[in-house]
Chains A and B, each alone.
Chain A
Amino acid sequence: MNVPTDLKYAKSDEWIRVEGEVATIGISDYAQDALSDIVYVDLPQVGASYTAGQPFGSVESVKAQSDVYLPVGGTVTAVNEALGQTPELVNSDPFGAGWLVKIQLTDAAPLADLMDAAAYTAFCAGRAH
């Protein structure tokens, strides 16, 4: 299982890459593997705002459907349009081409509650699959 060290992770399996006032969010390798082949990604409108912990979209496979939650407060500045045609990018490259949204941070405080790579790896090891 791939867990890049430069990212932070939520218990609901989202990752976040923060670069100053902006951030990119996606779902982890553990999550894409659990869902298996993803067939559809429901993304928000650009400009939509969410508080930390609010659902901003969902990811769907043949067997399951999961909401995705924003780990921080933010406003959506871009969504990954490529996922409309090729949702399987979330499976093949969850940390790169399979990103979900980019946001402008409005509330970065919840970053402190997120896990680093080591903590997330330990968290996943303790879960029933």
Chain B
Amino acid sequence: MLEPLIYDLSRPGRQGVTLPACDVPPTPLPDGLARTTLDLPEVDQLTVVRHFTRLSQLNMGIDTHMYPLGSCTMKYNPRVNETAARLPGLAAAHPLQDPETVQGSLALMFALQEWLADIGGFAGVSLQPAAGAQGELTGVLMMRAYHLDRGDTQRTKMLIPNSAHGTNPATANMAGLDVVEIPSDPRGNVDLAALKALCDDTIVGLMITNPNTLGLFEEHVEEVVAAVHACGGLVYGDGANMNAIVGKVRPGDLGFDVLHYNLHKTFSTPHGGGGPGSGPVGVSARLTDFLPGPLVARVQDQGETQPPHFSLVTPPKSIGRMKAFWGNFGVLVRAYAYIRANGPDGLRGNSEYAVLNANYLRAKLEDVYKLPYDRVCKHEFVVEGVWADAPGVHALDIAKRLVDYGFHAPTNYFPLIVHEALMIEPTETETRETLDTFVDALRKIAEEAHTQPQLLKDAPHTAPLSRLDEIAAAKQLVLCCRPAALS
């Protein structure tokens, strides 16, 4: 056991913080209202601090290690963004205050809406979705609503490439649509011929990631978009891989009708061990009426003498709200600060260096690891983590052995269309010397796979724990350390 549970550190009578005495005359509690037991721990403040500090020390994070997780964009999370989000005016504003009293927050949101629209090449943006997957659901519901609004009720299918992230088909299912899978071609693009054969008036549209989950820019993207539009369908862009193309090309210019952005990937907001993220959506002009609401609108242009004035409005054919209030505002602040600090040249530079770093790694590893697609990549690339002459060694073993060399593992077993995939995304914030050390580690591991495979199969050796028994976890299903305590 590395660290006791907080409950194991509990001692009756301890408390981590005191509260002020009640300064008003008390009102008696009615009988039967209050519970008689509450199974929460009793811990002094120092023990709480030590417990969670020690827990944190068991984690790898971007702040401690290179984290080359493909499609996650683990770039540096700037601390100035944390300070910005904690400014009292932003952190202590209640969402339901009169809009007249929160013009600072509304101005920030309006600016971010405009900037994301500009970056993506879109006519309108909603900042409400709380994560990429929620942005996907927003986009798919808008596409569906658009067709129904036009009386096109026979469109019930969504086309999705077989390389897509699992959230794409799951989202289509949540929206009540049927999923039709499209194969990829030998160069890793969507198979254009297969796509054209499936385009008819029963499809809502296509969900596509570009660059795709192989880290490759779709070579026929304009033809793909044209084929879908020609049969009356719409094109949804999954923006998870946007870090490759900010300032290099705008999805709206390619013809995409809707795109979600991942602020916790491309725009540097921290992952937090599983969120909070933010998944704003951008739309072309024909979908702006359907955006989830409310959004921030500029009320009137009073000319140069008055500052702009903002309010919350719901578009006329809105699909509805995606969550309570207006969005993950604290995350929006961080993204605003990031865009403000970088400016257009910085944002473009980030994408250029992300792509440079990925291609550098690819060039340094291609003689040792098999590249299923021999093309210039964008911000990430996929290798096969397996060798015919190193039997018994899998991608998982390579990933675990990297930990011993001081790196977090790349993404494993995704996309599904590559055998034993390892998807590597360095991001632009890694130095050349870190990348060289990473290359050295992977080359040594390749050698070990052939000469000392057991080192990989038993890895990690230097992490706080060795490999965990996932089968036992699923069978025993211990999800809670407290028995249900009633009343």
Chain A contact residues, CB within 8 Å of chain B: 37, 39-40, 60, 62, 87
Q: When chains A and B are docked, how far (Å) is the Cα of A87 from the Cα of B470?
A: 15
Q: When chains A and B are docked, how far (Å) is the Cα of A60 from the Cα of B470?
A: 13
Residue of B nearest to A40 (CB): B474
Q: When chains A and B are docked, how far (Å) is the Cα of A80 from the Cα of B471?
A: 21
Q: Which residues of A contact B475 (CB under 8 A)?
A: 39-40, 87
Q: When chains A and B are docked, how far (Å) is the Cα of A62 from the Cα of B475?
A: 9
Residue of A nearest to B472 (CB): A39
Per the 8 Å Cβ criterion, residues 438-487 of B in contact with A are 470-471, 474-475
11 A-B contact pairs sorted by A residue (CB < 8 Å): A37-B471, A39-B471, A39-B474, A39-B475, A40-B474, A40-B475, A60-B474, A62-B470, A62-B471, A62-B474, A87-B475
Q: Which residues of B contact A87 (CB under 8 A)?
A: 475
The smallest beta-carbon distance between A74 and chain B, in angstroms, is 29
Residue of A nearest to B473 (CB): A62
Q: When chains A and B are docked, how far (Å) is the Cα of A62 from the Cα of B470?
A: 7
The smallest beta-carbon distance between B185 and chain A, in angstroms, is 18
Q: Which residues of A contact B470 (CB under 8 A)?
A: 62
Per the 8 Å Cβ criterion, residues 151-191 of B in contact with A are none
Residue of A nearest to B471 (CB): A37
The smallest beta-carbon distance between A93 and chain B, in angstroms, is 18
Q: Which residues of B contact A40 (CB under 8 A)?
A: 474-475
Residue of A nearest to B474 (CB): A39
The smallest beta-carbon distance between B418 and chain A, in angstroms, is 13
Q: Which residues of B contact A37 (CB under 8 A)?
A: 471
Q: When chains A and B are docked, how far (Å) is the Cα of A62 from the Cα of B471?
A: 6
The smallest beta-carbon distance between B183 and chain A, in angstroms, is 13
The smallest beta-carbon distance between B392 and chain A, in angstroms, is 16
Per the 8 Å Cβ criterion, residues 44-97 of B in contact with A are none
Q: When chains A and B are docked, how far (Å) is the Cα of A60 from the Cα of B475?
A: 10
The smallest beta-carbon distance between B177 and chain A, in angstroms, is 20
Among A37, A39, A40, A60: residue with most chain B CB under 10 A:
A39
Q: When chains A and B are docked, how far (Å) is the Cα of A40 from the Cα of B476?
A: 10
Q: When chains A and B are docked, how far (Å) is the Cα of A37 from the Cα of B471?
A: 7
Q: Which residues of B contact A62 (CB under 8 A)?
A: 470-471, 474
The smallest beta-carbon distance between A73 and chain B, in angstroms, is 26
